[in-house]
Amino acid sequence: MGKSCVHLWKVSRMLFCAIVMSFLTVSCLEKDVYQGHDEDSKESELNGFFDFPTTKVVDLNVKYDLPQGYDVLFGVYDANPLSLSKDGQVVLNESAALAVRSTDKGRFSGKISIPASTNEIYIYSSEAGVPVLLKADLTGTSVSLTEADRVNMEEGAVTRAATYPNAKKVSDHGAFLTLGSDNAITWEPLGGKPLNVDEQETAKFKEIHTSVLTAVNAVLREGNKPSGLVIGGGDYKTDLVTKDAKVYLRYVCGKSSSMGTLAYYCYPADATLSKEYIQSLPKALVFANTLDESWDANNSSLERGTCIQLKYIDPEERIITDGQFPKGTRIGFVLYNNGYRKEAGADNNSFNVKHPFYSTPVPGDEQFSHTATFSYGEEDSKMVLVGFEDWTGDYDYNDFVFNVTGVEGTNEKKEEITTIAGDVTRGTLAFEDNWPNEGDYDMNDVIVKYKSETYYKRTTYLGTSKVEYSKEKVKDTYELVWTGASYKNGFGYKVDAGDDVTSISVSRENQKVSAPTIETEPDGAKVIILFTNAKKELGIENVSPEDMVGMSIKKVTFTVETAYNEEITSGQIPVFKDKAPYNPFVLTAGKRSHEIHLIDKAATSKMNTKLWGTGNDVSNPNLGQYYHNKNYWPFAINVDASGNNQDAWSIADKLSQHEGVRIDNSYPNFVKWANSKGTQFTTWWK
């Protein structure tokens, strides 16, 4: 064999060895990519197709016992949204509702999307006339709740001390007067239920209660300080002026957890008013216990509509007289917060008067700014409503609401337009940018947090039970957290917002983008491109992913507001056509034709379809299958952080600091969750 032949044989052998070694190396790399770094761990192998959802859809059924023509709003939660403040007040937590819906003839039936980890459903309503909170276990794909599922709020009520040094007994001279004959007690010893109810006037409430409750929901809405009402003004208009007539006080509703005590007082219109004068006036007890029947059947006894005739109190003689009030007399009210004494051993004839709130305002005094009044209707049937705020909190004046007849009207209202906050959806989107080829599966090539908030407009026509809803807007916030990639990737999403959209605006860091990239698809859907170079947005255009780890990088926030035609109305709260995160995608290296979406989410019309089925992609558009890899791994995931899962947002920070580390090594329960097809390890990120 000649030298040239020997040389050729050596070269061929070396080439063969190199090819074999390359094959072995590629095989090892493929095993690392497909099965994780720990070759002994079977948990890194996916046992079949899974679309990696962190949410689930359930059928929700809610039934309230409502009067005909009256419907309410309610929120859906995956954890108890109520808690006890340091003052002992039951308050609504900051956690947002998974969904906000309305009843139709007292019922709701529909599908809602909730976190996959949800095993309890809470229904909270701040509307008048319904239980505050319902609760049911979720064991399957549907759940039903009725008023029988109300949560007993006794444990959430205020903790009361055993004795009150400031308590006054009814029988004490100069203390409370009663509306009974010879100053007799007019309430039951246990529970404080009134015994002097005017049954005829109480029965009338059934004829008007749908319109009254509707008005309260509109004007004295939970968490919203009302505008255009007579609230704590120096002219004392919050106190009512009597006509030459009998005066009745009718309980309407209450949203407080306090067992308060309501009393009233009278004074002439020309009296010189001061704090000391108001406090010195004789007070007559109306309701011993103001806790609404919807809170706790064991502790509350005050039924909505309960009506009691008031009697004139002579402020000088300190006596009560039957019949009509002298025309022009002013009536003021005082609500003693936690006034009713329920604790063991109490004689039920004494009350805690440590925390009085008066309707007669005295500027600069906290005790005299807790009342709002408004009226509506025709002059001969004027409805006058008084609302108390019994804590130093949100000043929505719906803690205790009552109607008074035989008095002059106050601030007139005809209709009320309110913005209603609806569903709130949160989550984290994490992408691999090497599709259709394999990546390192650290899922941090582009990381975006999102929050979507929906808003509605509600118009209430006071004096009727008519309520109209319309879509107002959707506010979507996207925060670019990280880009652990060499590519300069972009990000956008496709949204089927519907035909009733009037405008879409985009802002970056609270500065409006003058010419945002908004495309219209053949099917009418919108495509919104927020950025085309994530590295540039974060100010790290020339920094490698490895060098980024540990750097302090300023995140960038984009806001998209979609406005809707508010002239389109309905009797129930409408549901938006699409829901965040919509159909998000990254643009590899900023190329508009190279999109990477979540599993089984179709690309836009600008996608390069020649990429389907190349590399390790096994997508089949004819079957509606997109972004599938032969070993079932995704190229993008959405980790829902809605409701009680807000801690899922933390995944963004962890993934950003685990450059080159597969997600199944960063989160060992990730594969266990996937192999259980989402039935176990539903909070794998914890």
The pLDDT value recorded for residue 681 is 96
**Residues for the chain: how many in total?**
686
d(CA 443, CA 371): 55
d(CA 574, CA 576): 7
Neighbours of 660 (CB within 10 A): 14
d(CA 168, CA 349): 8
- Stretches where the chain sits below pLDDT 50 are 1-43, 155-165, 171-174, 344-345
Tokens describing residue 18: 């190199």
Tokens describing residue 67: 């009067």
Distances in whole angstroms, Cα of residue 659 to Cα of each of 113, 484, 643, 656: 32, 7, 29, 7
Q: Are 587 and 597 in contact (CB under 8 A)?
A: no
The pLDDT value recorded for residue 389 is 87
Nearest to 128 by CA among 399, 455, 409: 399
Q: What is the 3-state secondary structure (H, E, C) of 568-579?
A: CCECCCCCCCCC
The pLDDT tens digits for 276-303 are 898 999 999 999 999 888 766 555 678 9
Where would I find the beta strands (DSSP E) of 105-141?
107-115, 120-124, 133-137
**What are the two backbone dihedrals, phi and then psi, of residue 649, each rounded to the nearest 5 degrees?**
-60, -25
d(CA 517, CA 416): 38
- Find the DSSP H helices in 434-590: 534-537, 545-548
d(CA 380, CA 250): 18
Nearest to 333 by CA among 398, 243, 396, 261: 261
Q: Which amino acid is at 206?
A: K
d(CA 256, CA 264): 19
Phi-psi region of 298 (alpha: psi -120 to 50; beta: other; left: phi over 0): alpha
Q: Which amino acid is at 143?
A: V
Task: Considering only CA atoms, give the Rg of the chain.
Answer: 33
Q: Which residues contact 446 (CB under 8 A, 6 or more apart)?
A: 429, 430, 431, 433, 480, 482, 483, 485, 489, 491, 534, 586
The pLDDT value recorded for residue 202 is 93
47 - beta bridge partners?
A: none
d(CA 436, CA 432): 10
- Exposure of 510 in the CB half-sphere (CA atoms within 13 A): 0
Strands 383-388 and 400-405: antiparallel
Full strand arrangement of the beta sheet holding 526-531:
517-520, 526-531, 490-495, 583-587, 595-597
Question: Could you name the CATH architecture of 56-151?
Answer: Sandwich (2.60)
